[in-house]
Amino acid sequence: MFVHQLRQNRVTMCDKRLLLNVLPDNISWSRFIWAWHVVNTRCIYRENKFHPLVDNSQGDALAIVPLIDMLNHSNENQVCAVLWMYQPVII
């Protein structure tokens, strides 16, 4: 597993107890996890560069990149998008 996936798994399991306290009664844990993964699989993981106006105390972040997600919306396309040293590469 990638390091960021391990971090996400750890955070998800640690936050489960907290999330269950704030989730509405009609949303189960499995439904929440499904929704989380729907969004998460359309995100890329990126390292945050230091910026004085950005709180980076939580470390790196996920970013949604609709263009990269749209590249896979075809039965014929086989696309791999990679963030390589802060420069996107589409293969």
Q: What is the pLDDT of residues 31-89, one digit of tens each?
A: 888 888 777 777 777 777 777 887 777 766 777 777 777 766 666 766 666 655 555 55
At residue 57, the pLDDT reads 74
- Kindly report whether the global pTM for this prediction surpasses the value 0.85: no
Residues 6+ apart with CB under 8 A from 36: 12
Q: Please report, for the chain, the start and end positions of each structural domain, with discontinuous segments joined by +.
A: 1-70
Nearest residue to 42 (alpha-carbon basis) of 64, 67, 75: 64
**Distance between alpha carbon 5 and the CA centroid of its chain, in Å?**
9
- Residue 54, CB-side half-sphere exposure with 13 Å CA sphere: 10
Measured over the CA atoms of residue 39, residue 43, residue 46 and residue 52, the dihedral's sign is negative
